[in-house]
Structure 1
C-alpha cells in the first residue's frame, strides 16, 4: 500500500509504527536505551541526535500527517520553536512576526532576540499588506500562527507563503490550534510547520512535547541547531505520544463537532458579550476559514458581560476544568491574562485585544448537553451571588 494515498485514520494508526521485528507485537516496542552500537551500523543512534528508533518512526507519522518530507520531535513546543528560529536567524538578521501569537513565543522574541542582535518587527494587523510592509533587506523569516492564541484570528496562509517565496524568505507557522486534522499549511506553500505536541498530538494532558515538519533539507539545518540546544524527548514520552496520536483524528473531529455547537450556544446567550470562533458566520475570517481549514477547530474564546466576574465563573464550573493547557479530551477554560499571556505587559495584551476577562475554551469530547448545563449552572451561581 506504499503507493496508495492513505486515509487520515490509517495514517494516525499505522504510519510511524516502530517495527517489532523480534516478537511481531501489534504495537510499537519501546527502545529505552541511551547508548547504541557505533561500529558496523548504518545509523549511529543517540537520544540527543533525534534518531533513536522511537523518535525516528514517530517523526514519519508527523511528516505524513502534515504532508511534509520529514519531521523532528522535541521536548516541548517552545523547544521546537526556539530551535527553528535560531536555526535560520543569526546576528544581523531580521524576522517579521505576526502580532497575535502565543505569549511564550512573543516573550522569547522580545526578551532574547536583542541579546543575539536579531531584529524583529511585529505586524500592525493580520492583512498581507501589513506583512509586506514589515519586510526589510535583511529579513530572513516570516512567522505566523493561525488560528491565533487566544482570539482565534486567522491569517491567509497561502498569501503569506506566496509573499515569502517572492522575497526568498523562509515561512514558518505554528499550527498547534488547528492540528493537521484541520489544517495542512504545507499544501498552501508554507515551508516549516510547528506544533506544541503537548496539545492535540498528546491529547490527554499528560505529555509535554514539540514537533516540526518540513522538507528534508530544512530538517538537516534544524537538526544541526537541535543537537546543540539539546531539546530532545525521552523515548518513553515518544512512545506515549505515538500511542496517543493513533486516535488524533477521531479525537479532534469529536472535539470540533462539540466546539461548533458550544460556540453557537454561547453566541446567543444573554450573559455573553462576544464569542471568537471561526465557525461562526459573524467571525471576521469565516470565509478564509472555509478556504484553508477542514472545519473550524475545537478552540474558542468568549467574553462575559461586564457585570460578570470571569474568575468567579470559572470557579463555579463543576465539569469543565479551569486549567492551564488545552486540547485534552477533557474540556478546559482559562484566563489568558493570568496564564498563557501573563508574561506580556498589560499594554501588549490590550494592543492584541486580550481583555482581562477573556476566557479561552478548549472543548473536549464530553456530551455537549453536559457542557452546556455546566456553563448554565456556573453562570446562575455567579449572577445570583
Structure 2
C-alpha cells in the first residue's frame, strides 16, 4: 500500500520506522555509529551524507507526510532554508521572495545573497499578482511562506504554483506554521516544501532540526550541496524527532482547536485591539485558508490596547511562558520585534505591519479556560499597577 494513501496518524506512527530485528522492540532502534563499513556493502553510510539508518527512516516519514517522493533532514530550519535556496540559485540569477517572511530568512537573503552575486526582490504583497510583478528574465525561484510569521498572512498556493510553472520557475514554501497536518503544498503544485522541524514536528521544545521534501530529482540536487555544507543532524536527535512525529497529528489538531478558541476570545476582549488568525471569518485571507488548509494552525498574533505595556503583560503571565520559539505542547508567546524579527530594521518591520507591541502566541494543548484566565489576570495586573 502506498504510504501516501495511509491516514495521517498511521503515517506519523509507522512510516519510516526501523525494524528491531534482534530484540523485536516496538520502536525504532537507535544507531549511533558515525563510522560504517565501506567494503562489501550496498550503501556506504556516512552521517554527513544523510544516509545513516535513522536518517533514512525519518526522511521516508517526512516525505510521506508531505506527499513527496523524497526528503532530507537538516540540523536546523535555517540550514534547510539556506541549502534549498542556494541549490537552485547562482551568481547572476534572481529570486522573488514574499514580503511577509520569517526574520531569519529575510536576514539570510539580505546579508548573504549579494556576496554570492544572487539578485533578490521582496514582493509588495503576498498575492500571485505581487509575485508576477517582480519576475525578471533571470528569475529562477519563487519563495513563499504561508501562514506567514508573525502576521499569519495566507498566500494562494495554487495560484503561485501555476505562476511558477508557467514561467519555468521553481516554487518553494516554508510550511512550518501550517505543519503537514494542516497543509500539503505539493498537492497544490508547489515544488519544494521546507520546515523548521524544531516546531510542530518536534513539538516539545527540545529538538532543533529542519526538513525539505520534494521530488527525487530536486532532493538529489539539494543533497549535492547539503553534503558540502554539512548541515546534517545527529542520529540521537533524528531518533527523538521520529519519536515526536508519532504524536504530531494528535498534538496539532488539539492546538488548532485551542487556537481558534483563543482567537475568538481575544477578539472579544476590549483590551485587545487586533487579532491575526486565518480561522476568523473576517481575516483578509480566510477564504483562501479554507480552500487550502485542513486546519487553521496553532499560531495567533495580537496587539494589546495602547497603554497596556506588552513587556509587563508578558511578565505578569503565570501559565503561558514568554519564550523564544513556538509550537510546543506548552503555550508560549513573544514579541517579534525583540526576537524572531529583531534582525530586521525598524523601518522594514513597520513596512510589514509588525508593530513593536505585536505579540505572537503559540497556543499549546492546555485547557482553554486556563489559558483565558491567565491572559485576563495578566491584563488586569498591568492595568492596576501600570508603573510597577
Q: Per the shorter chain, which TM-score range? A: over 0.9
Q: Distance in 2 between matches of 1:345 and 1:100?
A: 14
Instruction: Provide, for residues 27-63 of structure 1, a one-character-per-residue CA deviation record: whole Å limited to 9, x for no partner.
Output: 0000000000101111100000000000000000000
Query: Structure 1 residue 244 and structure 2 residue 244: aligned?
Result: yes
Question: Given the superposition, is the C-alpha separation of residues 25 and 160 from structure 1 closer, same or farther in structure 2, using an over 3 Å criterion?
Answer: same
Query: Where in structure 2 are there 5+ consecutive unaligned residues?
Result: none
Give the equivalent residue in structure 2 for 1:351.
351
Q: Distance in 2 between matches of 1:96 and 1:191?
A: 15
Give the equivalent residue in structure 2 for 1:286.
286
CA apart distance, 1:20: 1.3
Q: Distance in 2 between matches of 1:356 and 1:348?
A: 12
Give the equivalent residue in structure 2 for 1:112.
112
Q: Distance in 2 between matches of 1:355 and 1:22?
A: 57
CA apart distance, 1:18: 1.6
Query: Where in structure 1 are there 5+ consecutive unaligned residues?
Result: none
1:94-109 superposed matches below 5 A: 94-109=94-109
Q: Distance in 2 between matches of 1:295 and 1:247?
A: 16
Q: Distance in 2 between matches of 1:359 and 1:257?
A: 20
Q: Distance in 1 between matches of 2:218 and 2:379?
A: 49
Question: Which secondary structure does the structure 1 equivalent of 2:354 belong to?
Answer: coil
Question: Given the superposition, is the C-alpha separation of residues 241 and 350 from structure 1 closer, same or farther in structure 2, using an over 3 Å criterion?
Answer: same
Give the equivalent residue in structure 2 for 1:326.
326
Give the equivalent residue in structure 1 for 2:209.
209
CA apart distance, 1:295: 1.5
Question: Given the superposition, is the C-alpha separation of residues 357 and 241 from structure 1 closer, same or farther in structure 2, using an over 3 Å criterion?
Answer: same
Query: Structure 1 residue 90 and structure 2 residue 85: aligned?
Result: no
Q: Distance in 1 between matches of 2:2 and 2:326?
A: 35
1:1-385 superposed matches below 5 A: 1-2=1-2, 5-385=5-385
Instruction: Provide, for residues 207-259 of structure 1, a one-character-per-residue CA deviation record: whole Å limited to 9, x for no partner.
Output: 00000000000010000000000000000000000000000000000011000
CA apart distance, 1:4: 8.3
CA apart distance, 1:22: 1.9
Q: Distance in 2 between matches of 1:63 and 1:126?
A: 27
CA apart distance, 1:2: 4.7
Instruction: Provide, for residues 156-196 of structure 1, a one-character-per-residue CA deviation record: whole Å limited to 9, x for no partner.
Output: 01100000000110000000000000000000000000000
Instruction: Provide, for residues 324-370 of structure 1, a one-character-per-residue CA deviation record: whole Å limited to 9, x for no partner.
Output: 00000000010000000000000000000000000000000000000
Q: Distance in 1 between matches of 2:44 and 2:170?
A: 30
C-alpha contact 2:128 2:160 (8 A) present in aligned 1: yes
Q: Distance in 2 between matches of 1:4 and 1:229?
A: 30
Instruction: Provide, for residues 82-117 of structure 1, a one-character-per-residue CA deviation record: whole Å limited to 9, x for no partner.
Output: 101111100000000000000000000001100000
Q: Distance in 1 between matches of 2:127 and 2:26?
A: 48
Query: Alignment length, in residue pairs?
Result: 385
CA apart distance, 1:129: 1.0
TM-score, normalisation: structure 2: 0.98
C-alpha contact 2:4 2:64 (8 A) present in aligned 1: no
Q: Distance in 2 between matches of 1:18 and 1:89?
A: 35
Instruction: Provide, for residues 58-89 of structure 1, a one-character-per-residue CA deviation record: whole Å limited to 9, x for no partner.
Output: 00000000000000000000000010111110
TM-score, normalisation: structure 1: 0.99
| RMSD of aligned residue pairs (Cα, Å) | 0.8
Q: Distance in 1 between matches of 2:4 and 2:242?
A: 22
Q: Distance in 2 between matches of 1:127 and 1:68?
A: 25
Question: Which secondary structure does the structure 1 equivalent of 2:301 belong to?
Answer: strand
CA apart distance, 1:6: 1.0
Q: Distance in 2 between matches of 1:297 and 1:6?
A: 22
Q: Distance in 2 between matches of 1:56 and 1:329?
A: 27
Question: Given the superposition, is the C-alpha separation of residues 31 and 337 from structure 1 closer, same or farther in structure 2, using an over 3 Å criterion?
Answer: same
CA apart distance, 1:5: 2.1
